[in-house]
Structures are given as C-alpha cells and as structure tokens.
Amino acid sequence: MNIQTTLALIMTTTLGTAGLAVADKDSYALDQWKATPKTYLNKAEHEQYLKECGSCHFAYQPGLLPAASWERIMANLSDHFGDNAELPATETTDIRNYLLNNAAGRVNSSLPKKILRDSKAQQPVMRITETPYFIRKHDEIKPKMVKDNPEVRSFSRCDACHTRAADASYNEHEVKIPGYGRWED
C-alpha cells in the first residue's frame, strides 16, 4: 500500500468513527492500516449480541458498518426501523461496546475496509443496505428477485441469498436467490 492510500484510509477512519479514540493512538492505527488485512470479515460471536440482535433478523456482522452508524442504531432502539427493539441499559452498553470495538475501521479485515473507504464523505447511514459499497454490489439484482420475491422481500435478509452469511462469507459464488437458483454473472 502506498502512503497516499494509507493516509486516505486513516482520514476515513477518523471521519467514519467521528474522531473517536484514533487520535491518541496514531501509531497503532497506522500500523494496523499498513498491515495486510488478516481476514475477509469476522464472524459475529458475542453471545448476547447474537441473542438480542438475532431474534428478529439475521445478526449482521459488526464489521459491516462504521462505528458512527452503530452508535446511531444503538441510540434509537425503541424506534428501530418501525419496530421496537429496546433493551435494558446494561445490555445496551455491552452490545454497543462489542459493536464499536468491531466496527468497520476498528478491525483489520478487507470487507469492512472497502465499506468504510466507499462511505468516506457521507453522513453515517443506519443501514448496511444503504452503504455505497452495498448498493454498488447489488445494483444488477432485479426487484422481482427481492422486493417482489415472497421468499426474500428485502435486501436486509442477507441470509436469504448468501448461503454462508452466518459464517461471515459473502462470496458471490455462494449466492443462491430463492426461486432463481445460483447467481451467475
């Protein structure tokens, strides 16, 4: 990685995480970003997170959104995409910490880095499905396969199409859209 990219990445991190904690750990952050990503995406493993945030939908991996997005989500649980997902305060704190520590920009994995890089100048979105990276990767998929597909209905259901989503694997060769079969392009 050249210096320019590295700098750009650091700026993105700082922006994307609303200036949290990075400033006083400059050298640490630099070392992290210089290193080659160690994983594609880490699995969601926090027990309480899986239980609480996996009861209404697939438990999204924390690396899929920047910290600032998770902050907004965790601050608005009683009005959560039209549903009520409120939690007792202690659980909210535990889960928020887990999400923030493992958010895009805080882990050395390749997919979170791409998601963060593409969202740089933007306000933190509340949805993975609204990140520029996500939109770009899914723009060839027709509404009849998603919105009008009774077995999918929404892009938010990662595990409806990505057969190994729970293993944090989103390889395009593992995609199977219900009613349409394997994805070939």
Partner 1 sequence: MKTKTVLLLLLTCSPLVSTAANVVEERLQTYKTAGAKNFSAAAGQSLWNRQFEQPDGSKARACSSCHTTDLRQAGKQINTGKLIEAMSPAINPQRLTDAEKIEKWFGRNCKWTMGRECTAQEKGDFLKFIQSQ
Please give the Cα distance from 184 to 13 (Å, whole number): 34
Segment interacting with partner 1 (CB under 8 A) among 84-92, 107-115, 128-136, 138-146: 84-92
Segment interacting with partner 1 (CB under 8 A) among 66-74, 111-119, 130-138, 146-154: 146-154
The distance of Cα 116 from the centroid of its chain, to the nearest Å, equals 9
The distance of Cα 145 from the centroid of its chain, to the nearest Å, equals 22
Decide: is 152 part of the binding site for ligand HEC (CB under 6 A).
yes
Decide: is 81 part of the binding site for ligand HEC (CB under 6 A).
yes
Q: Which residue carries 């990075």 as its tokens?
A: 22
Q: Smallest gap, in angstroms, from Cβ of residue 21 to partner 1? A: 31
Segment interacting with partner 1 (CB under 8 A) among 41-49, 75-83, 96-104, 137-145: 75-83
Candidates 87, 125, 145, 166; binder of partner 1 (CB under 8 A) is 87
Closest to 178 measured CA to CA, from 166, 156, 163: 163
Please give the Cα distance from 90 to 53 (Å, whole number): 15
Closest to 64 measured CA to CA, from 158, 128, 124, 125: 128
Q: Which residue carries 């009008």 as its tokens?
A: 148
Tokens of 183: 């994805």
Residues that bind ligand HEC (CB under 6 A): 52-53, 55-57, 60, 64, 73, 77, 80-85, 95, 111, 127-129, 137-138, 140-141, 145-146, 152, 154-158, 160-162, 170-172, 175, 177, 183, 185
**Applying CB under 8 A, which residues contact partner 1?**
55-58, 78, 81-88, 152-154, 156-157, 160
